[in-house]
Amino acid sequence: MIDLTKLSKEVIDAVRAATSLDELTQVQNRFLGKKSQIVKAKKELGSIPQDERATAGQKINEVRIQIETIVSERKIEIDKAQWDSQFENEAIDLTEMLNPIARGHLHLITQARDQLEDVFVGMGFTVAEGPEVETAWYNFEALNIPDWHPARGNFDTIFVDLGEEEEVMLRSHTSPVQIRTMENQEPPIYIVAPGRTFRTDSADATHLPAFNQIEGLVVDKGITMGDLAGTIDSFVQAFFGEEVKSRLRPSYFPFTEPSAEFDISRPDGTWLELGGCGMVHPNVLQNCGIDPEVWQGFAFGFGIDRLVSMRYQLDDIRELVLNDARFLRQF
């Protein structure tokens, strides 16, 4: 029969010497595994006198329980030591001053476009979009712009050769979106059409060859010039503030009749032109399959880039496209 007292001391020493969970597992297997002295002692119980077996078996179980207990306690100690070490090594100094993280933001034009869409959606309009490459029908003809109109010349329009029989160009306004909407949607129609447009303008302090526009279109029964004036006035006050007023001045556009320019008031009492507007020409409605005797409409449009330039009093509109971070960080 093995010396259980000596075995207990040997186990205690081995467990205390273990510094990792792997070492502790090896100790556990050594003293409690299939080939351990405990298992061997149990097998030897049959060779000792009958009257001593109960006492010997009880002693073996006590030693087994003792081994399991001190192994479990040592496991807790090793776990705690490892966590403490990991926490100390990975601890973050919350008092340490780090360099500020450079965060980006939406471009001024994108901000303005989002704000404009929010204003018009709040007024009951929906946002419509269309392709930037258009045919002559959508960019000119359906809008009542005749062949001889200066806007259809190379001096104003950027034409592209796609091998098509019909003239193809980069759209010079977002009005084609109005035509596509009227062709595919039954009145009443209340839409705004924001997007990029292109012309042959040379870049200078007030012009860009690629710029952003937003146009509005309403087609419904009983629409009048008064509805147009009221819509523009509501938009101006919602976007610029209630102290800003709007006014209409007679003008001419081939796609509206009557036509007007609309201005907004300045703090010094002067007026600043913002865009064009008017009642949708009956020919435009007929081109889209809408009876002008039943339905009437108005349209308006202006440049988003120019609006931003006015809002922030920029001296040169090209600042918006130069990608100068020093300029953009101000907004």
pLDDT digits (tens, 9 = 90+) for 274-318: 999 999 999 999 999 999 999 999 999 999 998 898 888 888 999
Could you give the CA distance from residue 218 to residue 229 in angstroms, rounded to a whole number? 13
Could you give the CA distance from residue 141 to residue 264 in angstroms, rounded to a whole number? 31
Model pLDDT for residues 148-199, shown as the tens digit of each residue:
877 777 668 899 988 878 889 999 999 999 999 999 999 999 999 999 999 9
Helices marked H in 18-49 — which ranges?
21-32, 37-43
210-220 and 189-198 strand pairing? antiparallel
DSSP 103: -
pLDDT at 80: 85
pLDDT at 102: 77
CA nearest 291: which of 277, 280, 303? 280
Q: What are the residue ranges spanned by the domains of the chain?
A: 4-90, 108-328
pLDDT at 41: 63
Residue ranges in the chain modelled with pLDDT below 70: 1-5, 7, 24, 30-48, 50-57, 60, 154-155
- HSE, side-chain direction, 13 A CA sphere, residue 37: 15
Could you give the CA distance from residue 215 to residue 263 in angstroms, rounded to a whole number? 16
189-198 and 159-160 strand pairing? unpaired
- What are the φ and ψ backbone dihedral angles of 161, each rounded to 5 degrees? -105, 105
pLDDT at 46: 61
- What are the φ and ψ backbone dihedral angles of 302, each rounded to 5 degrees? -160, 165
pLDDT at 171: 96
3-state secondary structure of 253: strand
pLDDT at 252: 94
**pTM score over 0.85:** no
Domain 108-328 CATH assignment equals 3.30.930.10:
yes
**The token pair that represents 213 in the structure block:** 């526009």
Helices marked H in 125-187 — which ranges?
136-139, 175-184
pLDDT at 229: 96
